[in-house]
């Protein structure tokens, strides 16, 4: 504890964003200069339904402190139904995460349209704040699930 005390905690946060809505929303946040912490790194996927629960587990395994997935609003998916699949998959995954050592607050699904730069930035700020309040994801480490 005393060793880590001086080292400022900077979380690693992975954001999966679908190409059509939320990645564009992130671009809009950028061009509108709506800031959010640099801890968030975005991975572009064609659709939120491309996000395999394995990717999220992999992120935690590799040391992520939070993972957020953003897609088009329900009903607005570029591929008609992709975000519905994503929503179901994530609900199922999230319900089991606590069991394997990842607190509930470390994952989140949010719908952000291409026009919602403000929402994207606000969501990221909120999420990062939440992760800061949860601190480092040590439970996985304790459980030796982290490589």
Partner 1 sequence: MQRIGVFVCHCGSNIAATVDVKKVVEMALLEPGVVHAEDYQYMCSEAGQAKIAAAIREKHLTGIVVCSCSPRMHETTFRKAAERAGLNPYMVEIANIREHCSWIHKDMEEATKKAVILARAAIAKVNLNTPLKPGESRVTKRALVIGGGIAGIQTALDIADAGYEVDIVEKTPSIGGRMSQLDKTFPTLDCSACILTPKMVEAAAHEKIKIYTYSEVEKVSGFVGDFTVDIRKKARSVDMDKCTGCGVCQEKCPSRKTPSEFNRGLNTRSAIYTPFAQAIPNVPVIDREHCIKFQTGKCGVCAKVCQAGAIDYGQKDEIVTEKYGAIVVATGFDTIKLDNYDEYAYSQSKDVITSLELERIMNAAGPTKGHLERLSDGKAPKEMVFIQCVGSRCSDNRGKSYCSKICCMYTAKHAMLIRDKYPDVNVTVFYIDVRTPGKNFDEFYRRAVEQYGVNYIKGQVGKVAPQPDGRLLVQASDLLDNRQIKMEADMVVLATAIEPNPDVRKIATMLTASIDTNNFLTEAHAKLRPVESPTAGIFLSGVCQGPKDIPETVEQAGAAAVKAIGLLAKDKLLTNPCTAQSDILLCNGCSTCANVCPYGAITYEDKEVNDHGIRETRRVAVVNSALCQGCGACTVACPSGAMDLQGFSNRQIIAEVDAICR
Among the listed residues 3, 9, 38, 134, the single contact to partner 1 using CB under 8 A = 38
Q: Pick the binder of partner 1 from 6, 7, 33, 133 (CB under 8 A).
A: 33
Which C-beta is closer to partner 1: that of 2 or that of 147?
Answer: 147
Query: Looking only at residues 118 through 137 of this chain, which bind partner 1 when binding is defined by CB under 8 A?
Result: 121
Q: Can you give the chain as a three-state secondary structure string? A: CHHHHCCCCCCCEEEEEECCCHHHHHHHHHHCCCCCCCCEEEEEECCHHHCCHHHHHHHHHCCCCEEEEEECCCCCCCCCCHHHHHHHHHHHHHHHHHHHCCCHHHEEEEECCCCCHHHHHHHHHHHHHHHHHHCCCHHHHHCCCCC
Nearer to partner 1, 30 or 101 (CB): 30
CB of 2 to partner 1, least distance (A): 26
Q: How far is the CB of 115 from partner 1 (least distance, A)?
A: 4
Interacting residue ranges for partner 1, rule: CB under 8 A: 12, 14, 20-21, 23-24, 26-31, 33-36, 38, 41-47, 49-55, 58-59, 62-64, 72, 75-82, 85, 89, 113-116, 121
């Amino acid at each position: 504890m005393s060793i880590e005390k001086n080292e400022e905690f900077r979380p690693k946060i992975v954001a999966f964003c679908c190409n059509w809505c939320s990645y564009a929303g992130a671009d809009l946040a950028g061009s509108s200069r709506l800031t959010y912490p640099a801890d968030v790194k975005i991975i572009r996927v064609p659709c939120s339904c491309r996000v395999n629960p394995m990717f999220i587990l992999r992120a935690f395994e590799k040391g992520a402190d939070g993972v957020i997935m953003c897609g088009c609003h329900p009903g607005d998916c570029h591929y008609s139904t992709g975000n519905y699949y994503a929503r179901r998959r994530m609900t199922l995954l999230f319900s089991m995460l606590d069991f394997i050592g990842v607190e509930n607050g470390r994952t989140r699904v949010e719908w952000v349209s291409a026009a919602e730069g403000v929402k994207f930035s606000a969501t990221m700020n909120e999420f990062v704040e939440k992760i800061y309040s949860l601190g480092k994801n040590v439970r996985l480490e304790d459980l030796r699930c982290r490589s």
